[in-house]
Amino acid sequence: MTTPTRRRAPAVVGLLAISLIVVGCTSAVPSATPVVGASVAPTASIAPTVGPSAFTTPNARPTAAATPTASSSAAACVLRPQTLALPSDRLTDIEVMGLPGRDVVRFTFGDGSLAPMGPSIGTLGAAVPPFTQAGSGRPIALAGEHALQTVFKGMSIMNDVGQPTFSGEREIRGTDVSRSLRDVVIFDESEGQIGWYVGYEGSSCVMMSREGDSIVLVIDFGAG
> What averages of pLDDT result for each successive group of 10 residues across the chain (224 residues)?
43 37 39 38 37 36 34 58 96 93 95 88 96 94 96 90 85 86 95 95 92 96 71
Residues 89 and 199 in one domain: yes
pLDDT at 16: 33
Residues 93 and 35 in one domain: no
pTM above 0.85, yes or no: no
Residues 35 and 83 in one domain: no
pLDDT at 23: 37
Which value, in Å, is the radius of gyration of the alpha carbons in the chain? 45
Residues 97 and 205 in one domain: yes
Residues 114 and 54 in one domain: no
> 79 to each of 47, 76, 125, 145, 167, how far by Cα in Å?
54, 8, 7, 14, 29
Task: State whether residue 63 is helix, strand or coil.
Answer: coil
pLDDT at 224: 56
Number of neighbouring beta carbons within 10 Å of residue 208: 18
Residues 13 and 119 in one domain: no
The answer to whether residue 15 is domain-embedded is: yes
pLDDT at 177: 79
Q: What CA–CA distance (Å, rounded) separates 147 from 133?
A: 15
Overall number of domains in the chain: 2
The answer to whether residue 71 is domain-embedded is: no
pLDDT at 89: 95
The answer to whether residue 94 is domain-embedded is: yes
